Amino acid sequence: MDLLEIKAINTDAQRWLTKAATNLRQHLNTHFQVQTKSDRNDLVTNFDKETENFLVDQIRQNFPNDKIVSEEGFGDQVQTMHGRVWFVDPIDGTLNFVKQRNDFAMMIGLYEDGRNVLGYILNVMTDELLWGGPEIGLHLNEKVQPLPLDQPLAAGLFGVNGPMFAYNHEHVRDIAFASSGARILGSAGLEFQQVILGRQVGYISRLAPWDVAAGKILAETAGLSVTTIDGDPLDMLKSQVVLVTTRRALPEVQKIRQS
Ligand code: 2AM
Ligand code: CA
Ligand code: CA
Ligand code: CA
């Protein structure tokens, strides 16, 4: 894809997100249909489904040959990263959305032959859109976003997944204790935003492809490290424990985990 095409897609994607987020904010005080999925805290609402349906529809209308990986079932069964693959998480932080009407994100990621192209993380209630990619750089709304400082683990806050922290799974509690302090936001997208904006030194969680796709593109554009907990490249088509950190904190985290 050349720069002109990437810019054209970027204009489209921002328009879809703006429309979907405006619609969602307008319906915050209406009735929610809430269903459980794998357990009592794994929720889906009619708004997750409607938003995903809308975003997937826009992609299909504009790019009928592209493949789509999405959370709530409107996407495709995608077996390989060959060609153009979109990732859609319509509401990231559904539990926050249901309980707080706050701290949730809309995310889109676009890859071509497995390579990063465009990523979007929209904090729906603050209307902060972090967007960009290797060809167009990193932006927060209309401004170019400076890259985060390469801080060591002890110098910053560390985002964690609640249950992994509670059970010290993969040494997550030990890692957080070596930082300035643990944070649990309840939205993988907003955790990635915090790290990319330099407000946290890292984040660790078990994540599905749509939880991490946009964040990986933006974080790598920001010069951060995104790997599995073992330090391997991510497999974009499966769930795995994902670690995003500054370059400096990465070996420190790995040392704690191996201790
Ligand atoms: P979601 O709201 O889109 O489901 C919450 O800890 C974070 O982890 C959210 O980003 C949430 O995304 C994600 N997550 C991944 N798998 C989950 C699960 N089985 N139950 C709840 N949240 C999950
Ligand atoms: Ca979910
Ligand atoms: Ca998610
Ligand atoms: Ca979701």
pLDDT digits (tens, 9 = 90+) for 29-55: 999 999 999 999 999 999 999 999 999
Is the entire prediction scored with pTM above 0.95? yes
By CB atoms closer than 10 A (0-12, 13-18, 19+), residue 256 is middle
Pocket of ligand 1 (CB under 6 A): 38, 42, 89, 92-94, 161, 186-188, 208, 211
Does the domain formed by 3-144 have CATH 3.90.1150.10? no
Fold of 153-258: D-Maltodextrin-Binding Protein; domain 2 (3.40.190)
Q: Report which residue type is found at 209.
A: P
CA of 67 to the centre of ligand 2 (A): 20
Mutate to test the pocket of ligand 1, among 38, 40, 95, 169 (most ligand atoms within 8 A of CB): 95
The ipTM (two decimal places) reads: 0.96
CA of 27 to the centre of ligand 2 (A): 19
Q: Return the pLDDT at 55.
A: 99
Measured from the Cα of 184, ligand 1's closest atom is 6
CA 140 to CA 144: how far, in whole Å?
Answer: 6
Beta-bridge mates of residue 205: 242
Look at residue 33 and give its three-state secondary structure: coil
Report the mean per-residue pLDDT for the chain. 98
Handedness of CA 141, 144, 150, 151 (dihedral sign): negative
pLDDT digits (tens, 9 = 90+) for 195-250: 999 999 999 999 999 999 999 999 999 999 999 999 999 999 999 999 999 999 99
| Distance between first and last Cα of the chain | 44
CA 161 to CA 78: how far, in whole Å?
Answer: 27
CA of 109 to the centre of ligand 3 (A): 12
Provide the residue ranges of all domains of the chain, joining segments of one domain with +.
Answer: 3-144, 153-258
- Band of residue 259 on the pLDDT scale cut at 50, 70, 90: confident
Mutate to test the pocket of ligand 1, among 204, 207, 244 (most ligand atoms within 8 A of CB): 207
By CB atoms closer than 10 A (0-12, 13-18, 19+), residue 108 is buried
| Torsion angle of the four alpha carbons 144, 149, 154, 160, in this order, in degrees rounded to the nearest 10 | 30
Q: Do domains 3-144 and 153-258 have the same CATH topology?
A: no
